[in-house]
Structure 1
Amino acid sequence: EAGVNPYAGCLPMVIQLPVMWALYQAIWRTPELQNGKFLWMDLGKPDPYYILPVLAAVFTFLSSYIATLSVPKSSQTTMTKVMSYAMAIMVGIWAIVFQSAISLYWVISNLFQVGQTLVLQNPFKYRKEQEAKEEAERERQRKMRRAYKRLKRK
């Protein structure tokens, strides 16, 4: 009804699965990645300071939250909101256990997705336009009621 495909939100996740599997296998089989270092972390081991898991969870939530801003309020469901929180928590927990390279991938890809959504879709502008349309419709309804009341009086 609202022109939104419910499977469109799942498609990027499904596309990421083979990439995640390939990344995991590359880290597991490549000694340079298994023993490599980047900033404070060993790429083949989980992040010891839990910085990447927290960032992965935060950026996962932000990317899903910003994506839902450009969806009409009428088509947003409680399940959509619950999935935003649940997915962020799941990614955060997985990032604690997985190698830092995978956590780094999640952080960078979700950060890129947030930036891309803000630049290309501008959900805040869309939300303002929707609110302006709703306000204009309410004002039109008010004027119609006033006009109808005036006609009844005569």
Structure 2
Amino acid sequence: MYKKLGLTAVLVTMMVLMTGCLEIDEPINAESEGFWNSFFVYPLSWLLIHMAGWAGGSYGLSIIFVTLIIRLVIMPLMIKQTKSARGMQELQPEMQKLREKYSAKDQKTQQQLQQETMKLFQEKNINPLAGCFPILIQMPILIAFYHAIMRTREIEQHQFLWFELGQPDYILPLVAGVTTFIQQKMMMVTDNPQMKIIMYMMPFMITGFAFFFPSALALYWVVGNLFMIVQTYFITGPGARKRADAKAAAKTGGAEKK
């Protein structure tokens, strides 16, 4: 529990620091110095500019295309993270039985609980930390794209659909908030009070930020959320659950025949 909360705190702190303290108001170009600018932010800014050229000068379409490209690149990490979370969800009944069996608070009993828990993970071939590493890899990429959008000055001068990309909008932030909530809801695999707080807090945070930031960033959030909703549906949705249950039943039937 505390490890999960600690990891969440680290990720939120890293996001705040990187989004708020790294030259967010400085335009990005080929002359920008520093490892972060040269190897993370500028390449994505370059891609946004050139993709807009291929899209007939539309920076709105450019943001959509580059967002989809990034999401496709990091999709294997997201699939691994989602499957790991689902595996942990399926183990919850057995873990609850272990907690009830070793409910005493003395050190010896708690050590036995930890040993039995690790044994359960090994038997089911599940790494409880497997869902954490993909997040650590994704965060710099997603934050760099945020910087690229905010610091590519060409984007500010363009309109897409009904909104100016360089100005805040009033409709798009609400769409960003709703899609964030749906995404968080679909990805929540345990009935954890702390995770529920995050699930309800994140949409309000995203909506609040989107009301004050340029619409280009809100567009990025909406497209990314929609992609994640579709991806999560196909990984953990009804069809995926039926296939997983059928596979598990087939394995059980084969083991019984032996």
Q: TM-score range by the shorter chain?
A: 0.5 to 0.7
Q: Spell out the pairing of 1:1-154 with structure 2 (5 A cutoff).
A: 2=91, 5=128, 8=131, 11-12=134-135, 15-31=138-154, 33-47=155-169, 50-68=170-188, 71=189, 75-122=190-237, 126=241
Q: What is the Cα deviation at residue 88 of structure 1?
A: 1.2
The equivalent of 1:141 in structure 2 is none
Q: How many angstroms apart in 2 are the aligned matches of 1:6 and 1:92? A: 30
Q: How many angstroms apart in 1 are the aligned matches of 2:183 and 2:177? A: 10
Map Cα deviations across residues 27-79 of structure 1 (whole Å, 9 max, x no partner).
43333x111110111111111xx2111111111111110112xx2xxx43101
Map Cα deviations across residues 64-113 of structure 1 (whole Å, 9 max, x no partner).
10112xx2xxx431011111011111111111111101100000000110
Map Cα deviations across residues 126-146 of structure 1 (whole Å, 9 max, x no partner).
49x99xxxxxxxxxxxxxxxx
Q: Which has more radius of gyration? A: 1
What is the TM-score with the length of structure 2 in the denominator?
0.40
Structure 1: gaps (5+ residues) = 131-154
Aligned-residue CA RMSD (Å): 3.0
The sequence identity of aligned pairs, in percent, is 28
Equivalent AA in structure 1 for residue 167 of structure 2: K
Aligned residues: 121
Q: What is the Cα deviation at residue 125 of structure 1?
A: 6.4
Q: Is the 8 A contact 1:20 1:102 kept in 2?
A: no
Q: How many angstroms apart in 2 are the aligned matches of 1:7 and 1:97? A: 35
Q: How many angstroms apart in 2 are the aligned matches of 1:56 and 1:13? A: 23
Q: Is the 8 A contact 2:173 2:211 kept in 1?
A: yes
Secondary structure class of the residue paired with 1:8: coil
Equivalent AA in structure 1 for residue 180 of structure 2: T
Q: What is the Cα deviation at residue 16 of structure 1?
A: 4.1
Q: Is the 8 A contact 2:185 2:199 kept in 1?
A: yes
Comparing 118-127 and 85-94, the one that deviates more: 118-127
